[in-house]
Amino acid sequence: MATTPSNPSALLARNGYFADLYTFDWSQLYLRVPLICSIAIAICLIGGVLIGHPSAGLIAGGGAMTVGFGINQRIADSRLWPMIAATITMFLSTIVGMTVGHQGFTLLIAAAIWSFLYGLLTARAAGISWVGQQAAVTLLVTSAFPADLHHAFLRGLLILLGGGLQILITSLFLKLLPELKANLLALPYAGGVSVNHLLHVEDPDRHPDLHTVVQQLRAIPKALPRLSRATSFGYALRLAITVTLAAEVYRHLGVQSGYWIPMTALLVQKPAFFETFNRALLRVGGTLAGAVLSTFFLVHIHPSPIVLAALATLFAFCSYATNTVNYGLFTLCLTSYIVFLLSLNQLPGPVIAHRRAVCTIIGGLIALIIHLDALRRHRNKPTAT
């Protein structure tokens, strides 16, 4: 007859709930693809400094950085569709985010809609879910820079430029240019119209790649979640409540860097409580470690803009490389990247690091508080005797 350990920690350890906290899967450490993805970031950041527009390079580099993570995703068996879709949705989310800003109730409405849709997308294909996540994150980040439609469009174009450069360079080095060409040609034909009819092609064998890509596009809706699935709907609703509450705290504080609060809440909230708990701990711990590391460097070294651009690129590379090794280590590298990146815009690095750390803790706590009902249900589950 099985018995239940009297020590809850022993039970959790036995079930592996906290394994992510101390597991470092170094077999997932790859250098070639991260190095390739870092090239576009370096071009944007260093190029921005050299031409005297570091802030423009910062925005484009941020777009390239985000889109680079898409190379590990798949949509309809394509490595490029996630990157292309993320670039387009980030462009649109930038326009919406900057237009609504972070001081009005419109942010709460937009944050609720974007996070709810992302929650629904998590039910099925990981690549589509990842695109939804980037759209929601971009909306929250760009809300910190409210502007009129014209300036929002310009910032969106810079993100589009950075994402496009990342796709081009990645395709070039990974020999995906033929696939990229077919994907781009297929974009206008993503509807239900026959490809051969649109191109006036009598022999479909003349464009096999394009035809295949369009068929893949038409298959994408099949990967979308079914709204009738109670679990995905419940998670999406809880995620929307979490992000909306975090966005209200961000709006109430009125601090530009406060977008890290709803962004953290969005990223750490997972369907299972212990997943959320682990992600929150790892993200907070990694953020604090990255903040200390980057602040120490900035205070004692006082790097030039070129060195800052190089450091941001270095930690972008480290973020790519450690993404699947350990979430805490990845967050440490990502935090250092962000601190060095924003320092290019003449923002004080120690202040950036401090604000990011505080806002990350607040966002993680909000995600855990909203998810306490799941812990209660877990404790109320009958145990084997």
In a domain, 8, yes or no: no
The pLDDT, as a whole number, for residue 175 is 87
In a domain, 110, yes or no: yes
Range of the domain at 342: 30-175+226-379
What is the chain's Cα-based Rg? 22
CA 104 – CA 244 distance, rounded (Å): 13
**CB contact at 8 A, 279 and 270:** yes
Domain count, the chain: 1
Q: Which residues contact 8 (CB under 8 A, 6 or more apart)?
A: none
In a domain, 72, yes or no: yes
In a domain, 79, yes or no: yes
CA 171 – CA 175 distance, rounded (Å): 6
pLDDT in single tens digits along all 385 residues of the chain: 343 344 434 444 444 556 666 678 888 888 999 999 999 999 999 999 999 999 999 999 999 999 999 998 988 788 889 999 999 999 999 999 999 987 788 999 999 999 999 988 887 678 889 999 999 999 999 998 999 999 999 999 999 999 999 999 999 998 887 777 777 766 665 544 333 433 334 444 444 455 555 555 555 545 444 444 556 788 889 899 999 999 999 988 877 778 999 999 998 888 777 777 777 788 888 888 888 888 788 777 788 899 999 999 999 999 999 998 998 899 999 989 988 888 887 666 677 778 888 888 898 899 888 877 655 554 555 544 4
Sign of the torsion formed by the C-alpha atoms of 52, 144, 343 and 348: positive
In a domain, 77, yes or no: yes
The pLDDT, as a whole number, for residue 374 is 57
CA 256 – CA 263 distance, rounded (Å): 13
CA 141 – CA 63 distance, rounded (Å): 12
How far apart, in Å, do the first and last CA atoms of the chain sit?
A: 6
The pLDDT, as a whole number, for residue 295 is 79
- Looking at residue 276, its amino acid is T
CA 217 – CA 185 distance, rounded (Å): 12
User: In the chain, helix, strand, coil percent, each to 5?
Assistant: 80, 0, 20
In a domain, 142, yes or no: yes
CA 87 – CA 147 distance, rounded (Å): 20
Closest CA to 211 of 197, 221, 224: 197
In a domain, 61, yes or no: yes
DSSP one-letter code for 124: S
Residue 126, number of CB atoms within 10 A of its CB: 15
The pLDDT, as a whole number, for residue 25 is 84
In a domain, 385, yes or no: no
CA 269 – CA 119 distance, rounded (Å): 10
